[in-house]
Each structure stands twice: as C-alpha cells, then as structure tokens.
C-alpha cells in the first residue's frame, strides 16, 4: 500500500514547525502533499490512482523516529537480540531509522562487518538500519579502525559503544580522520578508572546501600576533554547518554562558543532516580547510572533550552538469565526501544516540560542532524516514514509482549501514557498494534 491517505490526524513535523489537523497524501511511497483536513485527494502525480484511507482521527501523525545508537547484538550475542527482533522492536517503538552500535562479536571495525549489518537489515525488512563503525580496532582504544573503509561500508558515525577512548592522542586522531569524511564520533564519556567496579551513582544512596558508586565526575571530566579535542581538531563529538548537571552545562557553553559538540539523553534517566536502587533490582542497573533529582532536573533543562538535541532509547537488550543474578555481577542495560515514547510522554509532556512539537523534534530532526540523514521529516518528496501515535492512551508495560528478545526493563507493570499505533516505512504499514 504505497498510495495512501492518512486522514484527519494532528500532523506534527518539527522540521517545518507544522502542527495542525491535516491529511497526509502518500504516492509511490513518498510524501506527495499535506492537505487541509476533509479535502479529498487531488490525484496529482503519476500513478496516484485510488487512495486507501487510513483514519488518523485523534492520533498524532509524526515523522518516523530516529535512534542514534541501538545495540542489535548480532553477530555474537544472539541470545540477547538479533537484527530481526531488534528492528521489529524499533518499529513497535515508532522508530523507522536506527543506527546499529558496534558492540558485536566480532566488533564492527571493518568494511565487511558494516556491510553484514546492512545485509541482515535488508533481509529483516523492518526499519532502516545504518551501521556505526568502531573508533578503534576491537574497541581496545589503541589503534584506529579503518575509518575510510568503514565509511565505504556505510558507516554514518563512529563509536566504541560502552568502551571509552581513554587515550587522548587516539581520540584526537579519530576526530581528525572522521572530520575528513564528515562523520561524527559518538563517544561514551566516562573516565574508566573512576567508574571501574561501580554499579550505581556515587552519593548518599550508594553510601547508605553499601554499593560502589560511579561519580558524576567520571562523565564530567571526559566530557570536558572531548569538548577540548573537538575545539582543537574541528571534529564533531556527540556525547552519548549525558546524565550529569555539569556535563550539560559544559556542553551548553561549548555550543555557545561554536564548538561542534552534541549530546543525547536516554528516557530512563529522565524518569528514574538513584532512589530505586534500594530495591537491589538489576533491571535498574544501567551505565551511565541513574542519578539524583538535581541531575534529572538539569537534563530536563537541557532539553528545554536545546542543549540536548536528541533522545535515544539506549537500547541495551540482555537475556533475562544474565540479569537474574547478583547486582554486582549483572550486566548494565535496559531494553528501551518499545517504551521510549511513553516514558518521554510521562516524564516530559504530562508535567509540562516540553510540547509535543519539542519532544518529537528530539526524536526526529535532532538525531537526523547528528548523523547527517535526510530522514525525520514529512517534507514533500521524502520517503513516507511515518509514526502514528495515540497521545492519551494509558497502557501497562508487559515485557512478555515485547517484540524485542530483550525483556530487561524496569518499567514492567508500570502504567504509562502515550502509545505508538502504527509505523510506516516507504509508505508501507510495517507494524500496527494488535
């Protein structure tokens, strides 16, 4: 169904600032027109033919969401996730485009590995998948990966996933080389020595619970270094999963000074604080860790003023048996694709921190700009990658019904607001809620 009329929905397109009740006309899988609600399709354009109607009354019609870094785990960790299950989970979460992380085995540090990601995504035929390439070979932080070859393999950015590039000279060279190819470096800003062995935020709660903490300074110091290197080299740094008050402040100042630095935030860091760690539930164990309320407030402030331009699910699926162990040895991570929208609505829209236009900008044009993608807009002529949202739907998270193979979520049993109804890629309905 590549010719379609999506009728009567609230069309929100952050790229153009559009927010109105309208019809979206799709011809041959592309956006053909956005017309006043109630107007019949004009039939302009070759092959327009008849227009099957998709009633969007009461729904938000948004550009398909874009995620900057998603762990698909294939190859090497298929017990956690596969390309097929991960991309289906992306559709269920409203994401039509994702960037695949490099934390596979073997690492995506060469052209053939990047091409494998694209091949598996083509076979799955769910959402669009662009590979990221490793910054360093085997994530060891010692020798740069084949940057040019990875670009030829389709890499839209470079990341060592959860392995910080601690060597500043290596990071400098990475920024210089990636600048030549107009690609960003997506970095996990964390000083390894300060974070080693930590399981939660270092503060009152970690002291009370007797758990080793990860101080906010571990992110702040590395963020400051990355900003300095971006200024030195002219390269582009993107800080993944910013969580601290001082990091937000430093990034805000750097952007004001014209330095090419961007950042994203994960939904769970906006809704949860380190108080939940008193349950010793491994589902809350994430890296960077859940912080205190003052840090959460700073993150929300960064979203409001445009310092934080993107929201990423930070999808880190884990087989349940890996999480059902002691807190100290359990792996970090949350399976986040299918709860991203609802957590953001609950944390940001309901309290009045952001408007729908502002939230959807952080899920569409914001991440698209980081990776230099043309997706994330409802502009005429663009592929019809569209997400339909029921903004007022109240639903209870049931991890057992996830499309993802990773059921590791702290939100199981929690009632949230906002739900994806359907997801279209190239004008085709690739997923609809049962």
SS3 254: helix
- The number of distinct structural domains making up the chain is 2
Last residue of a domain, one of 324, 347, 371: 371
Hunting for tokens 């698209």 — which residue is that?
Answer: 368
The Cα–Cα gap between 391 and 357 comes to 12
In contact, 172 and 232? CB cutoff 8 Å = yes
Whether 183 and 270 map to the same domain: the answer is yes
Q: What is the CATH number of the domain that holds 339?
A: 3.20.20.140
Same-domain check for residues 284 and 401: no
Which residues face 61 on adjacent strands?
Answer: 11, 388
Query: Which range marks the domain in which residue 33 is found?
Result: 4-61+382-432
Whole-number Å distance between alpha carbons of 363 and 264: 10
Residue 398 lies in a domain: yes
With respect to residue 376, please indicate whether it lies within any of the assigned structural domains.
Answer: no
Q: SS3 letters for 28-60?
A: CCEEEEEEECCCCCCCCCCCCCCCCEEECCCCE
32 and 119 share one domain: no
Mark whether 74 and 48 lie in a shared domain: no
Catalytic residues: 314
**330 within domain boundaries:** yes
Do 127 and 53 share a domain, yes or no? no
Contact of 376 with 367, CB cutoff 8 Å:
yes
**Looking at the structure, do residues 403 and 303 belong to the same domain, yes or no?**
no
Phi, psi of 130 (to 5 degrees): -110, 130
- Most distant CA pair in the chain: distance in Å? 68
Asked whether residue 105 falls in the same domain as residue 130, the answer is yes
Write the CATH number for 411: 2.30.40.10
200: in domain = yes
Whether 160 and 87 share a structural domain: yes
User: Is residue 42 situated within a structural domain?
Assistant: yes
Q: Encode pLDDT of 307-326 as tens digits.
A: 999 999 999 999 999 999 99
Please indicate, yes or no, whether residues 256 and 395 belong to a single structural domain of this protein.
no
Do 185 and 279 lie in a common domain? yes
Q: Give the gyration radius of the chain's Cα atoms.
A: 21
| pLDDT tens-digit series, residues 223-235 | 999 999 999 999 9
pLDDT in tens, the chain (434 residues): 579 999 999 999 999 999 999 999 999 999 999 998 865 545 444 444 467 899 999 999 999 999 999 999 999 999 999 999 999 999 999 999 999 999 999 999 999 999 999 999 999 999 999 999 999 999 999 999 999 999 999 999 999 999 999 999 999 999 999 999 999 999 999 999 999 999 999 999 999 999 999 999 999 999 999 999 999 999 999 999 999 999 999 999 999 999 999 999 999 999 999 999 999 999 999 999 999 999 999 999 999 999 999 999 999 999 999 999 999 999 999 999 999 999 999 999 999 999 999 999 999 999 999 999 999 999 999 999 999 999 999 999 999 999 999 999 999 999 999 999 999 999 999 999 98
Whether residue 377 is contained in a domain is answered as no
């Amino acid at each position: 169904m590549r010719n379609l009329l999506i009728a009567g929905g609230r069309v929100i397109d952050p790229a153009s600032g559009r927010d109105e009740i309208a019809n979206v006309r799709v011809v041959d899988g592309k956006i053909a027109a956005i017309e006043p609600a109630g107007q019949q399709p004009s039939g302009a354009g070759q092959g327009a033919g008849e227009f099957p109607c998709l009633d969007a009354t009461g729904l938000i019609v948004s550009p398909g969401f874009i995620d900057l870094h998603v762990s698909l785990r294939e190859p090497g960790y298929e017990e956690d996730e596969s390309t097929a299950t991960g991309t289906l989970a992306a559709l269920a979460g409203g994401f039509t485009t994702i960037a695949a992380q490099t934390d596979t085995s073997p690492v995506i540090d060469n052209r053939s590995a990047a091409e494998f990601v694209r091949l598996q995504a083509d076979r799955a035929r769910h959402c669009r998948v662009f590979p990221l390439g490793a910054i360093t070979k085997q994530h060891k932080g010692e020798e740069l990966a084949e940057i040019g070859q990875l670009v030829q393999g389709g890499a839209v950015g470079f990341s060592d996933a959860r392995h910080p590039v601690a060597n500043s000279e290596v990071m400098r060279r990475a920024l210089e080389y990636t600048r030549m190819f107009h690609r960003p470096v997506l970095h996990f800003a964390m000083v390894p020595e300060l974070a080693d062995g930590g399981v939660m935020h270092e503060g009152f709660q970690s002291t009370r619970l007797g758990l080793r903490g990860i101080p906010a300074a571990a992110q702040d110091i590395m963020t400051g270094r990355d900003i300095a290197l971006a200024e030195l080299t002219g390269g582009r740094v993107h800080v993944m999963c910013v969580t601290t008050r001082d990091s937000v402040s430093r990034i805000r100042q750097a952007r004001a000074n014209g330095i090419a630095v961007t950042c994203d935030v994960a939904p769970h860091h906006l809704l949860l604080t380190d108080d939940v760690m008193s349950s010793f539930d491994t589902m809350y164990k994430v890296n960077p860790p859940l912080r205190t309320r003052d840090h959460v407030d700073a993150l929300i402030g960064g979203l409001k003023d445009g310092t934080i331009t993107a929201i990423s699910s930070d999808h880190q699926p884990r087989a349940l048996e890996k999480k059902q162990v002691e807190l100290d040895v359990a792996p970090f991570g949350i399976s986040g694709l299918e709860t991203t929208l609802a957590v953001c609505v609950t944390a940001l829209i309901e309290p009045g921190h952001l408007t729908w236009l502002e939230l959807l900008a952080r899920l569409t044009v914001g991440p698209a700009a980081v990776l230099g993608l043309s997706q994330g807009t409802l502009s005429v002529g663009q592929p019809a990658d569209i997400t339909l949202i029921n903004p007022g739907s109240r639903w209870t998270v049931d991890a057992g019904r996830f499309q993802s193979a990773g059921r590791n979520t702290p939100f199981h049993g929690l009632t949230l607001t906002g739900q994806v109804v359907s997801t279209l890629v190239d004008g085709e309905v690739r997923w609809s809620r049962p």
